[in-house]
Each structure stands twice: as C-alpha cells, then as structure tokens.
C-alpha cells in the first residue's frame, strides 16, 4: 500500500538536490503525506505531543512507524526519544536511512523491523533490550490493519512503564457497514479490525489498560479526506509528473473510496487514550528533575486526628500517616507509616492506590476511602486498644470514609499559564470512622490533589524549582461559647449541613509559600452561612502572610487572623539519600485554633499546620 511512497520521497529529495547528504527533519516533514502516512500529518503529531506531555527525557514507542516521519518530527519538536516498530522491510530500511541523515535527531530515534504483535519479546535498541519499558506509545492509523488487534494490545502492555499513557488514532464503526463498504475496508484499505468504539474500549480494558477515554474525530476526518481527494485530483499534472499515471490513478481511486466511506456516516475515527495497568502512582508523567506530585488528607474526627500524605518526585515516592488522640495525650503523636515503598494503582474510577500499609480510593466526585493498616507494632497496638477491627492481613485496619463536599481549584505561583492544570482543594470534606474507643466518629477534613481537564485525561504533574518552602494552615472553628462538635458519623450531604442539628463551622485554609523565585500566598474563608452555596471569602495576596503561629489576611476591609496553639507535633525528613534525591524537612502540627474576623467575637476549634522546607531534587 505504501511502497510507492519510498520512491516518491527519493524522487522529491532528488528534485531539490538532496538525494544524498545531511537532511533537516523539515526537509522530510514538508513532503506531507509522503513522510506522514496517517491523516492530518504533523497536526496529528502535535496533538499526540500535547496529550502525552512529551518532552526531553520522554520515551515513546511508535507502533507501525512507516518511513519514520512521526518519530523524527516528535523527536525534533519535543526532544523525546522514539523507537519505531515497522513490519514492512522497505519502509523500515527507508526510515533507518533517512533518519541517519538527520543529524540533529538521529541519536534520539531508532527503528526495528518486526511484527509489532510480538513487541513484548523483541530485542529493542538499548537501553530497552528485551524487557525495557517506555513512558508512552502511539499508533496512528495502524491498528485497523492488524488482524489480531487484541494480541497487539496485550503485547504492548508489558513494554509500557507503570503509569505510562498512549494515543491511538484509528477507524471505528459508527454503524454496521454496507456490503460494499465492508469490501472496501477489507479489500482496498486492508482493514480487518474496524469495530465499534465500545468494543475497542472493552478490548483495551480486557488486556489491562485503565482509564480508557475516546474522542470522536469523525467530522474532522470526513472534512479532511474530502479535501484531500479534491486537492489530489486538482493537482493531476503535478502528481503524474512526480509519480506516474498508474500511481496517480490508483491514488485517486483510493482517496475517492475513503471519501465515500466517511461521507456514508457508518465509518468514523476515534482518538483513544488510556494508561497502563498497575502504575505505582496515579500521575502519568515521566520522571524528570523538578517533578512534584502529591496527595494530602487530614481529618478532625472528634478526639481523633489523622494526617496522610503521599509525595512523588523523580527519585522517590514517600507515603506517611500519623494520628493523635486528644483523649489520650500521654500517648503523643503515633506514626502509623513512613515508607518509600511505592503504592500500586488498581482498577477503578479516579485514583486507586494500593499498598501493604495503605490504600486510597478517590474518584474526585463522590469522595474517598482511605484504609490504614500499619505494620508498625506500636501503631498496631494503639489501633487495637482503640477497638479498631482487624482486616484481611490480620492487622488492625482503620478505614476512613469521606464525602467530597465543595472543591476549588487555582494555579500556584509560576504555573499561571497552565490554567487547565489547577491544584484542587477540598476544605470541607466530611469523614467518618466506624469505631474509635467504642464510638463511631465523624468530622471534617481537607484534601489537596492536582487535576487537569482534557479530552483524554492526564494527571497533572508540576515541574517545580529545586528549592521550596511553605507554611499551610487548615482550621475548623465554632463560636467561642460552643464546644467543637463534629457532624454526625453518617452526615447528610454537605449541601444540607446548614440545616443540620449542629452548627456549621467557619473553615479557613491559608498558605504562605515560595517555589524558587515565585511567591504564593492565599487566605480563604468558608463562612458558616456559605456551606450550602460554597461561596468563598478571600484575602488579596498582598494582604496575606504568616508568622510562626498566626496567619493574617484582610477580607471585606476587616483584618482576619488565624492563631495557633500547638497540641501535638510530628515530623520527618523526606529523602536525603544523596545525589539528586529530594530532601525536605516535613513537619505537621495539630493545633488549637482561634479565628478572629475584625471586631467580631472570636471562634475556636482545631487546625492542622504543615511546614515543609528543602529541595525537591
């Protein structure tokens, strides 16, 4: 189907005096469909780069790489490394020859002549070898030609690193094809694997890919294929001179039949993206200096306070959790876990992180479930003494059920140009534990995670400066003459809280942070009367700052202070193992909390205070 293009490329280069010698990638990409065999050419490649987040250090497996056009273009425009797998010998030889002449990228791109359905056992160029894994793969208008598409996907899966992502651009059946269309697909297009979108997604999920999403590109492709046919016929004299009459007639017929397929409305095109199964993290980004992702949760559950944190950088994943029981102050803070063992991702909506000592399920819509089952004997003894039941591992298992409540998103300093990647704050979560010292406990909590909106979802990853520091406070306060009372163990939905049998609190969260040279301050207040609407009161950044035990802001012309009195403190050093490792002092405090708004009576409650200073790499 494509062999004639190899000769056409050679002829086109000869016409401009570049039959031999060095080439620029643009010398080839400017040849359009002769270099880029898929639809939409380099425009489609640009979309792949954006969806996969390609950049220097990224590794990409190209399935059905043709003469190497997309691989060369993406290496040149993003700095990523690409290995292409191509079945047809003449296309493979052309890809290797042309790429070797592109000196700017020839060390980033390599090719293998093989059947891609056996990629799981192929000896690939170093450093991949027999078992090396890639960050991503792409397949652009290739899979429809593969008779056993499921075998292809199953073979690719082990070659994609945990958490890796992909983009597939392919035909899909919108409706049952007519007999004539079926013959066109099989005999002319050589496409035995055109199925419905639902069957395609089910196949990918069945072999182990997760978070599969599709985007319907049919209308765009129909317009493009119609224009291609019209433009090709209009350029008859030029095409005949370049390729000869027979090839022109063959291509005219082929383009007309593809135009008819899409015009008929029963064959369409889908952009498909997903993640490989069981990644160690929910973030789908290649490790690189400055990478910083995290999950943060903490909860005020009557006398019980719990804090959970997952840090992820280019060199480590740190998971920590600790608790404090105000009814048993002599115990002090209890470290539940402090480990660098990566969590594994399970299958499910949103984030599913599983480890021996902790499991987090958070779908970002309905809320979260956090299960803590520490291996630490002291922590186990504390949980057992508090009446926490044992789980499947035979250890006490503390399970926290959380309703999401209102969520808010904004960009931290230095990331304002990436407005589709907000940090998501959930300051009024409602949490429950089934049993703590003979009583079901309920209360408020907070969560911070990163999010991104995109037709094919990516997890947000921030590339931060090396040196960072921040102070963060999240406080929950009632009027001064009230005892701090949490909502009932099985609360009404958050939007109904203001009508509950208890008083809704004031909730404050505020930060004073520095990321490299960028300053990041905020002070947010969710007032009792705003729990249903979720309307926030905010201080301007210029009026917001923190000192040792107090945060300041100005809201509605009134000075606002959030004062702390330490109850318990837990801290650790994250990383610090040398080289380019993260090294940060990470300190958590549970504090008594006093909120003062102007001349109004103060309100009091509890607050979490996080202080973290050091380097990410």
Task: Compute the average pLDDT of residues 584-597.
Answer: 95
Are 340 and 383 in contact by the 8 Å Cβ rule? The answer is no
How far CA 156 is from CA of 122, 127, 190, 271, in Å, comes to 11, 17, 22, 18
> Are β-strands 134-140 and 160-173 bridged in parallel, bridged antiparallel, or unpaired?
parallel
How confident is the model over 352-361, as pLDDT tens digits?
Answer: 788 889 999 8
**Burial letters for 50-72: b for 16+ Cβ neighbours within 10 Å, e otherwise?**
ebbbbeeebbbbbbbbbbbbbbb
Say how far apart CA 96 and CA 89 lie, in whole Å: 11
Helix (H, G, I), strand (E, B) or coil at 73: helix
Find which of 283-287, 360-364, 393-397 is predicted with most confidence, using mean pLDDT. 393-397
Are 322 and 333 in contact by the 8 Å Cβ rule? The answer is yes
Helix (H, G, I), strand (E, B) or coil at 166: strand
Task: Compute the average pLDDT of residues 216-244.
Answer: 87
DSSP structure class, residue 505: P
pLDDT, residue 592, reads: 95
Sequence ranges of the chain with CATH classification 3.40.50.150: 1-40+55-114, 141-277
Find which of 177-186, 254-263, 344-353, 605-614 is predicted with most confidence, using mean pLDDT. 605-614
Q: How confident is the model at residue 492 (pLDDT cuts 50, 70, 90)?
A: very low
Residue of higher predicted confidence among 459 and 149: 149
Is the pLDDT at 46 greater than 60? The verdict is yes
Region of residue 463 (left: phi > 0; alpha: psi -120 to 50; beta: else):
beta
Q: How confident is the model at residue 395 (pLDDT cuts 50, 70, 90)?
A: very high
Task: Compute the average pLDDT of residues 561-576.
Answer: 94
- Nearest residue to 70 (alpha-carbon basis) of 107, 99, 100: 99
Helices 69-78, 41-52: crossing angle, 10 deg rounding: 50
Lowest mean pLDDT among 95-104, 406-415, 529-538: 406-415
- Nearest residue to 64 (alpha-carbon basis) of 111, 25, 9: 111
pLDDT, residue 268, reads: 81
How confident is the model over 5-41, as pLDDT tens digits?
Answer: 788 888 888 888 988 999 999 998 888 878 887 778 8
User: In this structure, what is the dihedral angle of CA atoms 99, 102, 106, 110, given to the nearest 10 degrees?
Assistant: -10
Task: Compute the average pLDDT of residues 243-247.
Answer: 86
Q: How confident is the model at residue 346 (pLDDT cuts 50, 70, 90)?
A: low
Average pLDDT, the chain: 84
In this structure, what token pair is assigned to residue 420?
A: 């589709």
Task: Compute the average pLDDT of residues 311-336.
Answer: 91
DSSP structure class, residue 79: -
Percentage of the chain with pLDDT > 90? 43
Fold classified for 1-40+55-114: Rossmann fold (3.40.50)
How many helices (DSSP H) and strands (DSSP E) are in the chain?
Answer: 12, 29
Is the pLDDT at 56 greater than 70? The verdict is yes
Helix (H, G, I), strand (E, B) or coil at 386: coil
> Are β-strands 583-597 and 334-339 bridged in parallel, bridged antiparallel, or unpaired?
unpaired
Please provide the CATH number assigned to the domain covering 141-277: 3.40.50.150
Percentage of the chain with pLDDT > 70? 86
Q: How confident is the model at residue 539 (pLDDT cuts 50, 70, 90)?
A: very high
Is the pLDDT at 102 greater than 80? The verdict is yes
Q: How confident is the model at residue 488 (pLDDT cuts 50, 70, 90)?
A: very low
In this structure, what token pair is assigned to residue 610?
A: 């996080």
Is the pLDDT at 2 greater than 90? The verdict is no
Are 29 and 105 in contact by the 8 Å Cβ rule? The answer is no
Are 569 and 588 in contact by the 8 Å Cβ rule? The answer is yes
- Nearest residue to 137 (alpha-carbon basis) of 106, 116, 123, 121: 116
How confident is the model over 267-320, as pLDDT tens digits?
Answer: 888 878 776 643 434 444 445 566 677 889 999 999 999 999 998 877 778 899
Is the pLDDT at 418 greater than 80? The verdict is no
In this structure, what token pair is assigned to residue 507?
A: 């909730």
How confident is the model over 578-590, as pLDDT tens digits?
Answer: 666 788 999 999 9
Which residues contact residue 139 at a Cβ distance below 8 angstroms, ignoring those fewer than 6 apart? 62, 63, 64, 166, 167, 168, 169, 170
**Burial letters for 170-206: b for 16+ Cβ neighbours within 10 Å, e otherwise?**
bbbbbeebeeebeebbeeebebebbbebeebbebbbe
> Are β-strands 291-301 and 304-313 bridged in parallel, bridged antiparallel, or unpaired?
antiparallel
Helices 236-243, 3-15: crossing angle, 10 deg rounding: 100
- Nearest residue to 147 (alpha-carbon basis) of 194, 179, 183, 89: 194
Lowest mean pLDDT among 138-152, 453-467, 489-503: 489-503
Is the pLDDT at 487 greater than 60? The verdict is no
CA angle, 340 then 301 then 603, to 5°: 115
- Nearest residue to 177 (alpha-carbon basis) of 168, 169, 167, 187: 187
pLDDT, residue 484, reads: 43
Which residues contact residue 255 at a Cβ distance below 8 angstroms, ignoring those fewer than 6 apart? 225, 228, 229, 232, 233
- Nearest residue to 128 (alpha-carbon basis) of 158, 152, 150: 158
Question: Is 0.75 surpassed by the pTM of this model?
Answer: no
Q: How confident is the model at residue 486 (pLDDT cuts 50, 70, 90)?
A: very low
pLDDT, residue 349, reads: 59
């Amino acid at each position: 189907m494509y062999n004639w293009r190899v000769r056409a490329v050679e002829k086109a280069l000869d016409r401009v005096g570049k039959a031999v010698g060095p080439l620029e990638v643009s010398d080839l990409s400017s040849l359009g469909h002769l270099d880029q065999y898929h639809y939409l050419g380099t425009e489609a490649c640009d979309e792949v780069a954006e969806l996969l987040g390609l950049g220097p250090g990224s590794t990409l497996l190209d399935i059905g790489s043709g003469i190497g056009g997309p691989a060369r273009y993406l290496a040149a425009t993003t700095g990523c490394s690409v290995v292409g797998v191509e079945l047809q010998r003449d296309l493979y030889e052309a890809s290797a020859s042309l790429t070797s002449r592109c000196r700017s990228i020839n060390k980033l791109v390599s090719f293998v002549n093989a059947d891609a359905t056996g990629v799981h056992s192929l000896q690939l160029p170093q450093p991949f070898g027999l078992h090396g894994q890639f960050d991503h793969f792409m397949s652009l208008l290739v899979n429809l030609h593969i008779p056993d598409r499921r075998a292809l996907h199953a073979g690719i899966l082990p070659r994609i690193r945990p958490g890796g992502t992909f983009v597939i651009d392919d035909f899909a059946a919108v409706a049952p094809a007519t007999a004539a269309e079926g013959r066109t697909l099989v005999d002319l297009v050589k496409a035995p694997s055109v199925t419905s979108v639902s069957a395609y997604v089910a196949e990918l999920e069945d072999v182990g890919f997760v978070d599969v999403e599709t985007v319907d590109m049919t209308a765009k492709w129909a317009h493009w294929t119609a224009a291609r046919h019209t433009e090709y016929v209009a350029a008859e004299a030029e095409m005949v001179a370049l390729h000869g009459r027979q090839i022109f007639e063959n291509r005219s017929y082929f383009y007309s039949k593809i135009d008819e397929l899409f015009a008929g409305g029963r064959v369409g095109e889908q952009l498909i993206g997903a993640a490989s199964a069981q990644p160690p993290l929910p973030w789908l980004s290649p490790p690189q200096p400055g990478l910083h992702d995290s999950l943060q949760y903490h909860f005020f559950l009557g006398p019980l306070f719990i804090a959970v944190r997952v840090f992820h950088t280019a060199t480590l994943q740190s998971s920590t959790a600790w608790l404090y029981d105000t009814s048993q102050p002599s115990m002090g803070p209890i470290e539940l876990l402090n480990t660098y063992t990566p969590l594994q991702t399970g299958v499910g909506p949103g984030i599913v992180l599983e480890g021996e000592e902790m499991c987090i399920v958070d779908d970002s819509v309905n809320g979260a479930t956090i299960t803590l089952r520490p291996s630490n004997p002291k922590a186990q003894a504390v949980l057992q003494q508090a009446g926490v039941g044992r789980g499947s591992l035979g250890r006490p298992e503390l399970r926290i059920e959380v309703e999401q409540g209102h969520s808010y998103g904004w960009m931290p300093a230095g990331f304002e140009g990436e407005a589709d990647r907000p940090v998501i704050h959930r300051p009024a979560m409602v949490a429950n534990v089934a049993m703590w010292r003979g009583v079901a406990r309920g209360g408020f909590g907070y969560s911070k995670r990163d999010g991104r909106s995109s037709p094919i979802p990516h997890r947000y990853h921030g590339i931060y400066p090396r040196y960072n520091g921040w102070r963060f406070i999240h406080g929950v306060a009632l009027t001064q003459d009230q005892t701090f009372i949490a909502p009932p163990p099985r609360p009404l939905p958050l939007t109904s809280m203001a009508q509950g049998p208890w008083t809704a609190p004031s909730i404050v969260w505020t930060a004073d942070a520095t990321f490299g040279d960028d300053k990041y301050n905020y002070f947010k207040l969710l007032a009792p009367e705003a729990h249903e609407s979720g309307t926030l009161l905010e201080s301007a950044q210029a009026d917001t700052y923190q000192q040792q035990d107090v945060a300041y802001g100005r809201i509605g012309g009134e000075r606002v202070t959030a004062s702390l009195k330490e109850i318990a403190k837990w801290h650790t050093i994250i990383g610090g193992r040398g080289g380019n490792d993260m090294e940060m002092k990470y300190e958590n405090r549970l504090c008594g909390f006093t909120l003062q708004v102007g001349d109004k009576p103060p309100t009091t409650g509890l607050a979490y205070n996080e202080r973290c200073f050091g380097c990410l790499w």
